[in-house]
Amino acid sequence: MEEKFLTDRVAVITGGSRGFGKAMGMALGKAGAKLSLVARHKEQLDEAVAQAAKAGIEAEGFVADVSDETQVRQLEEKIVARFGRVDILINNAGTTVLKPVIEYTLAEWRKVIDTNLTAAFLMCRACVPHMRGRGYGRIISQASIMAHISTPLRGPYSASKAGLLGLTKSLAQELAPDGITAVTISPGPFATDMTAPVMADPVRNQQFMDNVPLKRYGNVEEAAGLVLYVCSPAGGFITGSDILIDGGWTSR
């Protein structure tokens, strides 16, 4: 695989200021891609852009709530004005609220569904027209093992991630004639801000590890490596699929 096989490609990454999104951006940037990093918090975005610049990666930060239709339309205009195109879209922005379904408010339900699923729809609708006509395009949406299994307190989260699988299957068929692929990746337990409370609780942490044959948390660079492969020429025949990266959790 050529070291700079993404030279002149433009990658848009939501939730791109930290965790999975930041690691994915750095991996794509080191392969030559120009980065549009999208997040809600400017300070974290500025830090991510500065880190990319130190690595010789061209990157721009865009502050936006990607679950808001108006903000996504404005974001589309800004990205196209800055970079002129979109080749790769990483739908990584996500959230959760942990509580029993019957205790959820409608506002909490909508927050999870809109952030995890509706935002991906809005970003695809905005970015796909700028991918067409080039014979190449990649859409990668961050699902979860919770799209396949679930645990208590994760009803809306599981529903939103399962929805991403369905959206992706349809996109893969619609966009195949343009050479654009669409996949989801489904991580298991990774060492991120979202899992930090679990890792800090010995009882809950052990419950997680009991489900992972490899007996460890994943690191975000491993997920970034998977994304890099999917975006490479070698990954061009993978579409409509969900790729599990879970340390063996769902093999049990």
Range 162-197 burial, b when 16+ CB lie within 10 A, else e: bbbbebbbebbeebeeebbbbbbbbbbbbebeebee
Count CB neighbours of 221 within 10 A: 12
63 vs 194, residue with greater confidence? 63
- 212: nearest Cα among 240, 191, 185: 191
Q: What is the pLDDT of residues 149-203, one digit of tens each?
A: 999 999 999 999 999 999 999 999 999 999 999 999 999 999 888 788 888 999 9
Helices 19-30 and 42-54 meet at what angle, rounded to 10?
A: 30
**239 band by pLDDT with thresholds 50, 70 and 90:** very high
Which of the four CATH numbers 3.20.20.20, 3.40.50.620, 3.40.50.720, 3.10.105.10 does domain 10-251 have?
Answer: 3.40.50.720
pLDDT at 12: 98
In the predicted model, is pLDDT for residue 45 greater than 90?
A: yes
CA distance 96 to 85: 32
DSSP 218: B
pLDDT at 31: 98
Contact (CB, 8 A) for 10 and 34: yes
- The domain locations on the chain are 10-251
Give the mean pLDDT of 210-215. 95
In the predicted model, is pLDDT for residue 204 greater than 90?
A: no
CA distance 226 to 192: 17
Active site residues: 157
pLDDT at 1: 58
CA distance 27 to 166: 27
Tokens of 206: 């052990």
Tokens of 78: 């800004």
Q: Which residues pair with 10 in a beta bridge?
A: 34
Compute the mean pLDDT over every residue in the chain, rounded to the nearest whole number. Answer: 96
pLDDT at 195: 84
Q: What is the pLDDT of residues 125-161, one digit of tens each?
A: 999 999 999 999 999 999 999 999 999 999 999 999 9
pLDDT at 51: 97
67 vs 3, residue with greater confidence? 67
CA distance 233 to 226: 13
CA distance 111 to 214: 33
pLDDT at 196: 84
Strand order in the sheet with 10-14: 59-63, 34-39, 10-14, 88-91, 137-142, 180-187, 242-245
